[in-house]
A and B are shown apart, each in its own frame.
Chain A
Amino acid sequence: MSTALFRTSMKMHMKTLLSFALGTAAYLWLFIWAYPFVAQSSALNQLLQDLPQGLLQMIGYQAGVSQMNDYLAGEFYTLIYIVILSIYVVTTATRLIAHPVDRGWMSCLLSTPVSRVRVALTQAAVLVSGIFLIAALTTVAGILGVHWLAPDAPFHVWQFVEMNAVAALLFLAVGGYGFALSCLCPDERAAAGTSAALTVVFFATKTVSALNDHVSWLKYLSLFTAFNPQGIAHGEASLAMVCPVLAIISVLLFAFGVLAFQRRQMAL
């Protein structure tokens, strides 16, 4: 780690980070604000009961909207949050390594006595800090939002925190491959393209796997299967297994990225 580089990199990415965090919080508040109307509308619950189970699984409403955790898990954490954070993680991972290498100013960092491994670890630390900061801000925004906008709604704070923590670990793993590709790919475009494509594939396989029993095996191909917000809301997710696995995958991917960067040939 280099403190000077960490401070500068954080400063350079703070604007993006804050706008993503604010956007996420605003979106979340909008859903929380709408909750009382949705919950009161028995028509919606009725409609949901009439839909086939497969479709409900796909859109994330196996259990109706009887409580806030369920509602947010289905409305916010299965789609919107994943999309927002994927975009943040993929673009930031690319900007931290592939961008300066592609543009050439990585030479400014690498011609100092700070080794390649330390430069890569510092940039990785910036990405990890960003993910945890957004996750923490979203958690706080959610808790405060429910408190202010829907104080009467049934809401389990601890389960909500768990949901955010697992999401953060999932995006740590997404950041892991984003970072590894950022270290590995010959240019910025290839890095951003490959990690975006991989993310879309993971997301699509998970979504399709919920459609039908014949294709449910597809879920084992997707990293996103590890994050099951409904399961967490119902206390059914095996977090004791999922969390360490995600953490180990992330560490391995980041380590792989750092090693790839150490060996990389760079025309700087």
Chain B
Amino acid sequence: MIHLHQVNKRFTNGRGVSNLTLEVRRGEVLGYLGPNGAGKSTTLRILMGFLQPDAGRATINGLDCWKDAPRIHAITGYLPGEISFPEEQTGLEFLELVAGMRHLRSTARRDELIHRFEFNPRIPIRKMSKGMKQKLAIVAAFMHKPEVLILDEPTSGLDPLMQQRFLELLEEEQQRGATILMSSHQFPEVERICSRVGILKDGRLVALEDVTALRKAQRRVFTVGLSDPREVIRLEHEGFRILHTRGNEIDVEVRGDYNTFVRTLAHCDVASLSTRELDLEEVFLHVYTDTRTEVRS
């Protein structure tokens, strides 16, 4: 449904994407991960026809993203990464404008989405909080029941409850048969709804893998306080990598084999155990450092 073939786009500041080949199959939900500045938004802007690739070809449903943008937009919903609206309008006026430009007559889906995200569309946009604006953008992107959804960090600005609602909405859209490409820099939300994940670094696709495979490869660092520092040997013996040792505290790297980790710890005298949220680069360290990682497409 969505195809990128050897797409290149360079900006004067050196950023952009290079030699990007990616496919999102019809009905698939693909997560698009990468740190800030990796080229996620650039890819999505190329797909929306806002940017023309220097080389290569981007298509949606067989249509060229640059030349046939209006025909693509008829079946696509887009949620930009940086949300902005005409400030002098109210939310409802804005939604009416978008519906008018789409020749959309029924307001049923729009009203249902407004109800679901619990927001008041009648207040002026300039008085809306960031979260409210995000909700408004979601309604505008979803209200015409698009076949393709291009979402740039869709949950940013939403509170945890609304993030859950949004992920539920995405699951429903997927069941309806929508093809979704969603960028994010949080693995947990991508893990929940995506079947495959593409990882981007410095404008290059460094991995394209099934979520289950990535989950196995996902790296977690536990900080373990041991009453007897000598018990470290048990962990090392089981093949765990010790990253740091600070007196009685050690940082242990765990990848997928949590059972072994817990069983090994059961034999130790554990004084404390904690883990912290890692950022994307730390989570997929192997992807970012190991240049031998094969890109399967």
Q: Which residues of A contact B (CB under 8 A)?
A: 2-5, 7-8, 12, 100, 103-105, 107-116, 263, 265-268
Give bound CA distance, A268 to B71, whole Å. 19
Q: Are B85 and A111 in contact (CB under 8 A)?
A: no
Q: Tell me whether A112 and B51 are in contact (CB under 8 A).
A: no
Given contacts A4-B97, A111-B76, contact A266 B50 (CB under 8 A): yes
Q: What is the size, in residues, of chain B's interface with A at 8 Å between Cβ atoms?
A: 35
B98 at the interface (CB under 8 A from A): yes
A-B contacts besides A104-B83, A113-B71, 4 pairs, CB < 8 Å: A7-B100, A105-B85, A108-B140, A115-B70
A146 to chain B, nearest CB (A): 37
Taking a contact as CB atoms closer than 8 A, the residue among B71, B78, B97 that contacts A111 in the complex is B78
In the complex, which residue of chain A has the Cβ closest to the Cβ of B140?
A108
Cβ of B21 within 8 Å of any chain A Cβ, yes or no, is no
Q: Across the interface, do A267 and B71 meet the contact criterion of CB distance under 8 Å? A: no
**From A7, A8, A113, A265, contact of B52 by CB (8 A):** A265
Bound: A2/B104 CA distance, A? 13
B residues near A115, Cβ cutoff 8 Å = 69-70
- Chain A to chain B contacts (Cβ below 8 Å), 27 pairs: A2-B100, A2-B101, A4-B96, A4-B99, A5-B97, A7-B100, A8-B97, A8-B100, A100-B86, A104-B80, A104-B83, A105-B84, A105-B86, A107-B50, A108-B85, A110-B73, A111-B48, A111-B73, A111-B78, A111-B141, A112-B73, A112-B98, A112-B102, A113-B101, A266-B50, A267-B45, A268-B45
Residue of A nearest to B83 (CB): A104
Q: Is B187 an interface residue (CB 8 A)?
A: no
Chain B: minimal CB distance from A64 (Å): 48
Could you say which of B48, B100, B101 has the most chain A C-beta atoms within 10 Å of its C-beta? Answer: B101
Chain B minimum-CB-distance residue to A113: B74
In the docked arrangement, what's the CA distance between A110 and B50, Å? 8
Distance of B48 from chain A, by nearest CB (Å): 6
B50 in complex: contacting residue of A112, A114, A267, CB < 8 Å: A267
Residues of A with C-beta under 8 A to B93: 8
Is B142 an interface position by the 8 A CB rule? no
Given the contacts A12-B89, A107-B78, A113 and B100 also touching, CB distance less than 8 Å: no
**Nearest CB of chain A from residue B74's CB, rounded to whole Å:** 4
Asked if B159 is at the interface (CB within 8 A of a chain A CB), the reply is no
- Give the A-B contact count at a CB cut-off of 8 A: 83
- Residue of A12, A113, A267, A268 near B73 (CB, 8 A) is A113
Contact of A103 with B84 in the complex, beta carbons under 8 Å: yes
A258 to chain B minimum Cβ distance, whole angstroms, is: 15
Rounded to whole Å, the gap between the CB of B56 and the closest CB of chain A is 15
Contact check, B76 vs A114: say whether CB atoms are below 8 A apart: no
B86-121 vs A, CB cutoff 8 Å, 1 = contact: the mask equals 101100011011111111000000000000000000
Expressed in whole angstroms, the minimum distance between the Cβ of B111 and any Cβ of chain A is 19
A168 to B211, CA, bound (A): 63
Neighbouring B residues of A104 by C-beta, 8 Å: 80, 82-84
Chain B residues lying within 8 Å of A12, measured Cβ to Cβ, are 86, 88-89
| Interchain CA distance A28-B73 in the complex, whole Å | 48
CB distance from B260 to the nearest CB of A (A): 47
With a CB–CB cut-off of 8 A, which chain B residues contact A265? 50-52
User: Contact between A114 and B101 (Cβ–Cβ < 8 Å)?
Assistant: yes
- Chain B residues contacting A103 (CB-CB under 8 Å) are 84
8 Å CB contact of B101 from A5, A100, A263: A5
B99 CB to nearest A CB, Å: 8
A4 proximity list for chain B (CB < 8 A): 96-97, 99-101
Taking the closest CB of chain A, its distance from the CB of B145, in whole angstroms, is 14
In angstroms, Cα B103 to Cα A4, docked, is 9
Most buried by A among B51, B52, B84: B84
A105 to B97, CA, bound (A): 13
Report the nearest A residue to B101, measured CB to CB. A112
Say how far B43's CB is from chain A's closest CB, in angstroms.
Answer: 12
Cα distance, A111 to B84, chains bound together (Å): 13
- Please indicate the chain B residues that have their CB under 8 angstroms from the CB of A268 in the complex: 45, 48, 50, 80
**CB-CB < 8 A to B49: which residues of A?**
110
**Contact residues in A for B99 (Cβ distance below 8 Å):** 4
Q: For the complex, what is the distance from the CA of A231 to the CA of B191, rounded to whole Å?
A: 75
Contacts of B98 in A (CB 8 A): 108, 112
Bound CA–CA A111/B80 (angstroms)? 10
B100: shortest Cβ distance to chain A, in Å? 3
> Closest approach, in angstroms, between the C-beta of A268 and any C-beta of chain B?
5
Please name the residue on chain A nearest to B73 by beta carbon.
Answer: A113
Q: How far is the CA of A4 from the CA of B49 in the complex (A)?
A: 22
CA distance A265 to B51 in the complex (A): 5
User: Which residues on the B side are within 8 Å of A112 (C-beta)?
Assistant: 73, 98, 101-102
Contacts of A2 in B (CB 8 A): 100-101
Q: Which residues of B contact A266 (CB under 8 A)?
A: 45, 50-51
B17, chain A: closest CB distance, angstroms: 13
Centre residue among A7, A105, A266 by max chain B CB count within 10 A: A105
Chain A residues with Cβ below 8 Å from B102 are: 112-113
Q: Which residues of B contact A263 (CB under 8 A)?
A: 52
With a CB–CB cut-off of 8 A, which chain B residues contact A267?
41, 45, 50-51
Q: Is the CB of A3 within 8 A of B86?
A: no
